């Protein structure tokens, strides 16, 4: 079966073969969506006004603001705080960038990945057909986002280049993939290979453990969890409730199969338990991507934090209801990786509803920034897009959504993650690593 990521994010067409800069990469995504042809006309106008060829203009810092301005004009709603000057004069856009002092924003990317392993993924040898669906999907996404060799470019080296050096990200939390039944009995990304990231950038990364499912046997799962903590000093878990075992999935609120894992985590001093929710890609069963199992477990383990990765999109309402009607709850979080990227550039109204619903119902202290990079290449365009994104006034009025103030964005960008992972933000910006942050 042929997988094409653009079929998974409906409404996209591939438009370029290889962006030159993170900004161009973001612009290409705007151009690939259903508003693409109309955005393209605005880009041509902007290029002409700047006195540049289209190709040259797309390489400037003005291209992304020009795409955002076009979205405002096409939709008649103010989704992006962007000035005409930024969009038309490359020099103005550059100046705005230069004026932004590094260290102004403390940004924790709660959702990052490497995606290679030394053994590779060889169909029929160490990877099943179903396993290849997922590899191919990630491969396609990477290629669309400027990584010429797809997953093969999602290496430890590039993790540093793209995320830690190539963007305004201060700290990256990296997330594992397991599913070893589909990958020759070995995790899709074995923890010993992930640990290289932590070793390279100890103060700028947070390592999560994963690849655990009680369907692989509860005692084996508990032993691996203990080993992750003792040998690799993981800072939390990122799990998947769909899995590659015959049972295909499990639930966080399963008292027999799952509660012993949370009890062990608590004993080992792990506080933050993440789970992929929503986005039921490839071989994964959608039923396990619903977030309802976080309801009971949040009440039964009030000292642990539960984080719904991807904000459970497109089931974000189900997630939001778990706090909207239970305001006493203080341990339920949402993370916006892939969800923000896929909606902001193509469905801005949906993006505003998703963020608005989460921020209104979970609250601004419980929503965290994440980009799912390096699957999406360099995350800088996503950071720029969130800096400029607004929930339009009509939606604030009509739905009771909060206004995206700089204070609220600072919480989402880094303060919430800093609080739960115990990261120290520093006022000054030392030139050498650790840049802007000390993880403790």
Tokens of 269: 């001093």
* Length in residues, the chain: 440
**Closest CB 323 distance from Zn ion, rounded Å:** 22
**Closest CB 393 distance from Zn ion, rounded Å:** 33
SS3 category, 63: helix
Q: Pattern of binders to Zn ion over 276-315, x per CB under 5 A?
A: ----------------------------------------
**Closest CB 379 distance from Zn ion, rounded Å:** 12
Strand 108-112's sheet: what is its strand order? 108-112, 171-174, 205-207
| Residue 80 or 386 with smaller CB distance to Zn ion | 386
| Nearest partner of 332 among 278, 287, 368, judged by Cα | 368
| Residue 178 or 392 with smaller CB distance to Zn ion | 178
**Closest CB 339 distance from Zn ion, rounded Å:** 11
Task: Map the footprint of Zn ion across residues 188-227, applying CB under 5 A.
Answer: none
| Residue 109 or 361 with smaller CB distance to Zn ion | 109
| Residue 111 or 353 with smaller CB distance to Zn ion | 111
Task: Tell me how many residues contact Zn ion (CB under 5 A).
Answer: 1
**Closest CB 375 distance from Zn ion, rounded Å:** 7
Beta strands (DSSP E) in 259-357 are 272-276, 305-309, 332-335
Tokens of 308: 């719904």
| Residue 249 or 370 with smaller CB distance to Zn ion | 370
**Closest CB 338 distance from Zn ion, rounded Å:** 7
| Residue 114 or 322 with smaller CB distance to Zn ion | 114
Cα dihedral 125, 127, 128, 134, rounded to 10, equals -160
**Closest CB 54 distance from Zn ion, rounded Å:** 33
Task: Map the footprint of Zn ion across residues 61-90, applying CB under 5 A.
Answer: none
| Nearest partner of 150 among 17, 341, 339, judged by Cα | 17
DSSP 128-195: -HHHHHHHHHHHHHHHHTT-TTGGGG--HHHIIIIIIISSS-SEEEE-----GGGTTTS-SS-HHHHH
| Residue 24 or 372 with smaller CB distance to Zn ion | 372
Task: Map the footprint of Zn ion across residues 334-393, applying CB under 5 A.
Answer: 372
**Closest CB 47 distance from Zn ion, rounded Å:** 35
Residue pair 11/37 in contact (Cβ under 8 Å)? The answer is no
DSSP 348-399: HHHHHHHHHHHHHHT-TTSEE----BTTTS-THHHHHHHHHB---HHHHHHH
**Closest CB 279 distance from Zn ion, rounded Å:** 9
Measured on CA atoms in the order 70, 76, 79, 85, is the torsion positive or negative? positive
| Residue 153 or 372 with smaller CB distance to Zn ion | 372
Radius of gyration of the chain (CA): 21
| Nearest partner of 381 among 101, 98, 22, judged by Cα | 22
| Residue 89 or 372 with smaller CB distance to Zn ion | 372
Tokens 């705080």 locate to: 81
| Residue 21 or 112 with smaller CB distance to Zn ion | 112
Q: Which residue is nearest to Zn ion (CB)?
A: 372
Distance of CA 219 to the CA centre of its chain: 31
| Residue 243 or 372 with smaller CB distance to Zn ion | 372
| Nearest partner of 195 among 207, 183, 180, judged by Cα | 207
**Closest CB 370 distance from Zn ion, rounded Å:** 8
**Closest CB 294 distance from Zn ion, rounded Å:** 18
**CA–CA dist 294, 332 (Å, integer):** 8
**CA–CA dist 275, 43 (Å, integer):** 39
**CA–CA dist 3, 15 (Å, integer):** 17
Binding site for Zn ion (CB under 5 A): 372
């Amino acid at each position: 079966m042929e997988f094409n990521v653009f079929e998974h994010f409906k409404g996209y067409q591939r438009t370029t073969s290889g962006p030159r800069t993170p900004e161009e990469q973001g612009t290409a995504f705007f151009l690939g969506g259903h508003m693409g042809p109309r955005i393209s006309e605005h880009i041509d106008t902007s290029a002409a006004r700047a006195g540049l060829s289209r190709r040259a203009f797309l390489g400037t810092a003005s291209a992304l603001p020009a795409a955002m301005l076009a979205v405002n004009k096409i939709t008649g709603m103010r989704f992006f705080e962007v000035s005409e000057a930024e969009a038309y004069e490359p020099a103005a856009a550059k100046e705005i960038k230069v004026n932004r002092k590094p260290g102004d924003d403390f940004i924790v990317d709660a959702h990052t990945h490497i995606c290679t392993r030394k053994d590779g993924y060889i169909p029929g040898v160490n990877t099943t057909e179903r396993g290849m669906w997922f590899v191919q999907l990630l491969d396609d996404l990477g290629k669309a986002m400027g990584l010429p060799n797809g997953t093969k470019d999602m290496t430890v080296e590039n993790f540093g280049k793209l995320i830690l050096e190539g963007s305004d990200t201060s700290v990256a939390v990296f997330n594992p993939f397991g599913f070893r039944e589909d990958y020759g009995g070995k995790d899709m990304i074995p923890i010993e290979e992930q640990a290289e990231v932590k070793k390279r950038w100890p103060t700028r990364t947070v390592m999560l453990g994963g690849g655990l499912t009680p369907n692989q046997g509860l005692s084996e799962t508990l032993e691996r969890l203990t080993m992750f903590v003792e040998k690799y000093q993981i800072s939390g878990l990122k799990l998947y409730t769909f899995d590659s075992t015959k049972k295909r999935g499990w639930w966080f609120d399963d008292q027999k199969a799952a509660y012993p894992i949370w009890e062990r985590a608590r004993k080992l001093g792990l506080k933050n338990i993440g789970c992929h929710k929503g986005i039921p890609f490839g071989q994964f069963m959608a039923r396990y991507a619903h977030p309802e199992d976080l309801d009971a477990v949040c009440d039964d383990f009030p000292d642990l934090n539960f984080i719904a990765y991807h904000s459970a999109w497109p089931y974000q309402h189900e997630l939001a209801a778990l706090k909207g009607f239970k305001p006493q709850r203080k341990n339920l979080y949402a993370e916006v990786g892939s969800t923000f990227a896929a909606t902001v550039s193509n469905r801005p109204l949906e993006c505003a509803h998703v963020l608005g619903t989460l921020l209104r119902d979970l609250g601004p202290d419980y929503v965290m920034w994440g980009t799912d990079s390096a699957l999406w290449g360099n995350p800088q365009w996503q950071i720029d897009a969130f800096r400029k994104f607004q929930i339009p006034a009509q939606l604030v009025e009509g739905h009771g959504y909060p206004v995206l103030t700089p204070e609220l964005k600072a919480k989402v960008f880094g303060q919430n993650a800093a609080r739960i992972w115990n990261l120290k933000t520093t006022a000054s910006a030392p030139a050498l690593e650790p840049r802007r942050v000390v993880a403790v």
